[in-house]
Amino acid sequence: MTTRILITDDTGFPLAMLDGHHGAQHAQEWTRAMLAHLAQSGIADPMVFELTPSEGGDAFRADVLEQIGRIRPEFRTRPDGQRELLGFHRLAASRSRASAAATPEPVRCAHRLVSAPANVHGDRQPIRIPRGRQNSASPLSATDRRHLRRAVRAAQRSPA
């Protein structure tokens, strides 16, 4: 599974993006290293988003990843003064008509807020790390161990 991470500054200007096919733990380590590098560079309070595109991977790569400078998060101000993330849009590349350049296109993707400044509304959620061959096994819970035992017994009973 591909993990897509977008890091922006506090105004929403994109700074870095990962379209990682190396597993979610790699994406988590990359994000940690990138945030440390940005802190050394003097960029305070970056925002980190985990994106899940509604389109296929090639369309996302061509429309978003390769044109990262055109992607912007869209916020609205809540009555309590916090900014609420509505989604992402892509600025038009055409400079021929002012009306066309002023009309952004929506980026069809779901987003999860991983980290952001305090004035951004929303639950901060860690990067999802599903179990699989790309992610090393973390300690199993009692429920996970029980499901594994049941799967092994079912595999032994089936005439495959």
The predicted-structure confidence for 86-122, as pLDDT tens digits, reads as follows: 988 888 776 666 655 567 888 888 889 999 999 999 8
The predicted-structure confidence for 70-89, as pLDDT tens digits, reads as follows: 888 999 999 999 999 998 88
Domain range for 7: 3-157
pLDDT number for residue 47: 94
Written in H, E and C, the secondary structure of the chain is CCEEEEEECCCCCEEEEEEECCCHHHHHHHHHHHHHHHHHCCCCCCEEEEEEECCCHHHHHHHCHHHHHHEEEEEEECCCCCEEEEEEEECCCCCCCHHHHHCCEECCEEEEEEECCCCEECCCCCCCCCCCCCCCCCCCCHHHHHHHHHHHHHHHHCCC
- Total domains in the fold of the chain: 1
> Is the pLDDT at 131 greater than 70, yes or no?
no
